[in-house]
């Protein structure tokens, strides 16, 4: 079976050399995760790429912080993943020292709907 991309983190695989992503839903989810976790300026040749979610980790939980995070995620998805429609962004309290973000999204052209939860 053909594959779309290598799965991160890299792991060896006897069939392909490395574990590969073989379906679009998994590839979109990995790309989404990379977009959120990359800090602006970190990606070579594309300095505006990345939402930099980790920088919000030790911020106090306040309403304007949630709005800042929502706006940054929405802005980055519109710019670098325009085929994804962000439907809802929610925040959870997994623990006092963790930031939990749940993003409900869809890819209308592929009829994909999913929920992505990121806990830092």
Give domain status of residue 3, yes or no.
no
Kind of pairing between the strands at 20-21 and 5-6: antiparallel
- The Cβ of residue 56 has, within 10 Å, a number of other Cβ atoms equal to 17
Domain count, the chain: 1
- CATH number of the CATH domain containing 100: 3.10.450.40
pLDDT tier at 80 (50, 70, 90 boundaries)? very high
Confidence grade of residue 99 (pLDDT, cut at 50, 70, 90):
confident
Within-domain flag for 92: yes
5 pLDDT tier (thresholds 50, 70, 90): confident
Q: Is the pLDDT of residue 13 over 80?
A: no
Mean residue pLDDT of the chain comes to 87
For residue 113, give its domain range: 23-119
d(CA 114, CA 120): 20
Structural domain contains residue 12: no
- pTM, full prediction: 0.83
Residue 87 has pLDDT above 90, yes or no: yes
Q: Which strand (E) or helix (H) includes residue 27?
A: helix 24-37
What is the per-residue pLDDT across 57-76, written as a single tens digit (0 to 9) for each? 777 666 688 899 999 999 99
Query: Can you give 57-117 as a three-state secondary structure string?
Result: CCCCCCHHHHHHHHHHHHHHHHHHCCCCEEEEEEEECCCCCCCEEEEEEEEHHHCEEEEEE
């Amino acid at each position: 079976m053909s594959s779309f991309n290598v799965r991160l983190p890299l792991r060896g695989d006897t069939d392909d050399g490395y574990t590969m992503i073989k379906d679009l839903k998994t590839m979109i989810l990995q790309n989404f995760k990379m977009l959120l976790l990359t800090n602006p300026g970190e990606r070579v040749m594309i300095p505006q790429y990345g939402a930099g979610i980790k920088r919000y980790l030790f911020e106090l939980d306040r309403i304007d912080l949630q709005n800042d995070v929502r706006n940054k995620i929405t802005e980055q998805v519109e710019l670098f993943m325009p085929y994804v429609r962000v439907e809802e962004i929610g925040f959870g309290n997994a623990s006092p020292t963790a930031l939990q973000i749940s993003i409900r999204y869809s890819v209308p052209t592929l009829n994909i709907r999913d929920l992505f939860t990121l806990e830092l």
